């Protein structure tokens, strides 16, 4: 089997590492990442060749995903499986359905981890699947790979995904960026709760600010969650006064 990865930044490189045992991995990036590809033992090729793969992962920024799906639409092979790995799902699911040919299989996915959280391996981490138009053969094959990686599989609709990640992901990043702006940093006297907040701050600030903006702007549920959280903070603050 051939596995194509479009976008070879930090997450694309992680994806290549964990999927390399399961097929021939072909990668493409808008800037030259051939040296990094050689280091990881995968092939750096042009976009057209990546789009000939059996499975194709679109692993670019959320804000670039719609245009990338449009760009690859005329290039993908009949019966290929195209998946995204965005941290939002409602809009990418619509883009996959709207722009790709009818004879191409599609599934919206979200690995609930990144290079930092997967440093010690993928066991116990989650991968969300939103099957849209996919054969049972491909779906079962993908689930088998995830089971081999000891990943917990969660199958939901794009809407349910975005509702839940507006809290567990977007709100956590919102808090983490607030801590960063506040100047939150390590100190001599501390509690376990303080150290947990340090970890949140460290984890979210290791990701790009573009990812933070995209997960806030492209998830239809995050604005309300942020508004309610800020309202709750103001309520607590008034209680102190």
Specify the 3-state DSSP secondary structure of 20: helix
* Beta strands per DSSP E along 45-125: 55-58, 81-84, 105-111
- At 124 the pLDDT is 96
Mean predicted lDDT score pLDDT of the chain: 96
Cross-sheet strand order for the sheet of 55-58: 43-44, 24-28, 2-6, 55-58, 81-84, 105-111, 126-133, 152-155
* Beta strands per DSSP E along 69-210: 81-84, 105-111, 126-133, 152-155
- At 133 the pLDDT is 97
State which residues of the chain have pLDDT below 70: none
- At 206 the pLDDT is 86
- At 103 the pLDDT is 95
Residue found under tokens 């057209």: 48
* Beta strands per DSSP E along 149-199: 152-155
Q: How far apart are CA 48 and CA 226, in angstroms?
A: 41
What does the pLDDT look like over 9-65, one tens digit per residue? 999 999 999 999 999 999 999 999 999 999 999 999 999 999 999 999 999 999 999
- At 203 the pLDDT is 84
Please report the sign of the dihedral spanned by the C-alpha atoms of residue 163, residue 198, residue 63, residue 114: negative
- At 117 the pLDDT is 86
CATH class entry, domain 2-156: alpha beta
Spans of all domains in the chain: 2-156, 160-240
- At 221 the pLDDT is 98
Q: Is 203 exposed, middle or buried (0-12, 13-18, 19+ CB in 10 A)?
A: middle
């Amino acid at each position: 089997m051939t596995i194509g990865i479009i976008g070879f930044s930090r997450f694309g490189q992680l994806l290549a590492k964990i999927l390399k045992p399961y097929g021939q991995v072909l990668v493409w990036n808008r800037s030259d990442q051939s040296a990094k590809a050689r280091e990881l033992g995968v092939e750096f090729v042009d976009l057209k060749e990546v789009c000939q793969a059996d499975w194709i992962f679109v692993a670019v920024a959320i804000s670039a995903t719609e245009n990338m799906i449009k760009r690859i639409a005329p290039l993908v092979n009949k019966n290929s499986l195209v998946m995204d790995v965005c941290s939002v799902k409602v809009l990418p699911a619509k883009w996959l359905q709207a722009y790709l040919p009818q004879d191409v299989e599609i599934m919206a996915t979200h690995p609930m981890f990144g290079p930092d959280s997967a440093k010690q391996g993928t066991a116990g981490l989650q991968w969300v699947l939103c099957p849209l138009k996919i054969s049972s053969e491909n779906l079962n094959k993908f689930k088998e790979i995830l089971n081999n990686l000891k990943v917990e599989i969660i199958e939901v609709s794009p809407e349910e995904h975005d509702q839940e990640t507006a809290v567990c992901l977007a709100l956590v990043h919102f808090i983490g960026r607030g801590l960063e702006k506040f100047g939150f940093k390590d100190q001599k006297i501390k509690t376990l709760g303080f150290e947990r907040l340090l970890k949140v701050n460290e984890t979210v600030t290791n990701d790009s600010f573009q990812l933070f903006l995209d997960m806030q702007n492209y998830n239809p549920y995050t604005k309300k969650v942020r508004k309610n959280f800020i309202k709750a903070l103001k309520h607590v603050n008034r209680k102190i006064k």
